[in-house]
Amino acid sequence: MNRIISIVSAAVLLLLLAATMAPAQSRAITDLTAEELQQLRAQTADVLVIDVRTAREFYDGHIAGAINISSQASNQFRSLSLLLPKDKETPLVFYCRGYS
């Protein structure tokens, strides 16, 4: 249970950081299907895909080109912002392992 809370907390913190970095008109947070992500990446070369699962889960398999910012790293949140693009127009796509 604590692991789930940590993962969700890290994802929320990252989304808040992304929202504060982006202009007001592009702050919309939407869900994407795999197909929509593929289309977005085809249309926009600078999409940053961020995997917020554990390092082990990332190692076991991830979306090509994604970077890993896991919940274990959330205690170093300020330094994580260095991994994010300086261009505030760059789309950020976060993903994690879903729970049913």
Question: Three-state DSSP class for 49?
Answer: strand
Exposure on the CB side of residue 29, measured as CA atoms within 13 A = 11
Distance between CA atoms of residues 17 and 10, nearest Å: 11
> pTM for the full model?
0.62
Q: What is the pLDDT along the chain (100 residues), one digit of tens a residue?
A: 555 555 544 554 555 555 555 454 455 778 888 899 999 999 988 899 989 888 899 999 999 999 888 766 656 666 667 777 888 888 888 888 775 4
Fold of 2-95: Oxidized Rhodanese; domain 1 (3.40.250)
- Strands (E) across 7-75 are located at 48-51, 67-68
